Chain A
Amino acid sequence: MSAPLNRLLQHVLEGEPPLGDEVDAIFRRADRLRRRRTRTVLGAGAATVGLIGALGYVLTATLLSPPPVTITPPAVSAIAAPSPVLSRTPAPAPALADGVLAVIEPLLEGRKLTIVPGSAERGPGWRQYRVTEGPGRPRGTIVVAVFDVGKNLDARKKWCFPVAADLDECARPDRAHGLESVRYDDVSDPDRQVRQTVARRLGDGRVLAVLAVGKRNVGAQRGKPALTGTQVEKVATDERVFDAFRRTEGCDDLCPSLNTPVTPR
Chain B
Amino acid sequence: MAVRHRTGPFGTYKEPMSGENDTALREFVTSRLPQLRRTAFLMCGDWRMATDLTRATLARLVADNRRGAVADPDVYAYADLMEACRRRNRRREHVFVASPGAAGIEAESILLLDALHKLTPRCRAVLVLRHWDGFDVDATGAMLDLDGERVSAYERAGLAALERLLGESEAAMAG
Contact = CB atoms under 8 A, between A and B. Distances in A.
Interface string A15-43: 11101001101110110011001000000
B85 to A, nearest CB: 16
Nearest to B162: A5
Q: How large is the interface on B (under 10, 10 to 19, 20 to 34, 35 or more residues)?
A: 35 or more
B66 A23 contact: no
Contacts of B134: 6
- What is the predominant secondary structure among interface residues of chain B facing chain A? helix
Nearest to A30: B62
A19 B33 contact: yes
B109 A12 contact: yes
A9 to B, nearest CB: 5
Contacts of A30: 58-60, 62-63, 66
B42 interface: yes
Interface stretch (B11-19, B124-132, B139-147, B167-175): B124-132
A1 interface: yes
Contact of A1 (B59, B105, B163): B163
Contact of B63 (A5, A8, A22, A34): A34
B62 A5 contact: no
Interface residues of A, number: 24
A26 B55 contact: yes
B34 interface: yes
Contacts of A5: 127, 131-132, 159, 162
B55 A29 contact: yes
Interface in B56-70: 56, 58-60, 62-63, 66
B7 interface: no
A3 to B, nearest CB: 9
A2 interface: yes
Contacts of B119: none
A5 B100 CA distance: 26
B30 A11 contact: no
Nearest to A28: B59
B22 interface: yes
A187 B82 CA distance: 118
B51 interface: yes
B102 interface: yes
A1 B108 CA distance: 17
A253 interface: no
Interface of chain A, main secondary structure: helix
Contacts of A29: 55-56, 59
Nearest to A24: B26
Given A2-B130, A6-B132, A9-B132, A14 B33 contact: no
Interface string A190-202: 0000000000000
Contacts of A34: 63, 66
Contacts of A26: 29, 33, 55, 58-59, 62
B138 to A, nearest CB: 16
Contacts of B22: 27
B79 interface: no
B48 to A, nearest CB: 8
A13 interface: yes
B81 to A, nearest CB: 13
A11 B106 contact: yes
B1 interface: no
Given A1-B163, A11-B109, A33-B59, 18 more contacts: A2-B130, A5-B131, A8-B112, A9-B112, A11-B106, A12-B109, A12-B113, A17-B99, A17-B102, A19-B34, A22-B51, A23-B29, A25-B55, A29-B56, A29-B59, A30-B58, A30-B60, A33-B63
22 contacts: A2-B130, A5-B131, A9-B132, A11-B108, A11-B109, A12-B42, A12-B113, A13-B41, A15-B47, A15-B103, A16-B41, A17-B51, A23-B26, A23-B29, A26-B33, A26-B62, A29-B59, A30-B58, A30-B60, A30-B63, A33-B60, A37-B63
10 closest A-B pairs by CB: A30-B62, A15-B102, A29-B59, A17-B99, A30-B59, A12-B109, A5-B131, A30-B63, A26-B58, A33-B63
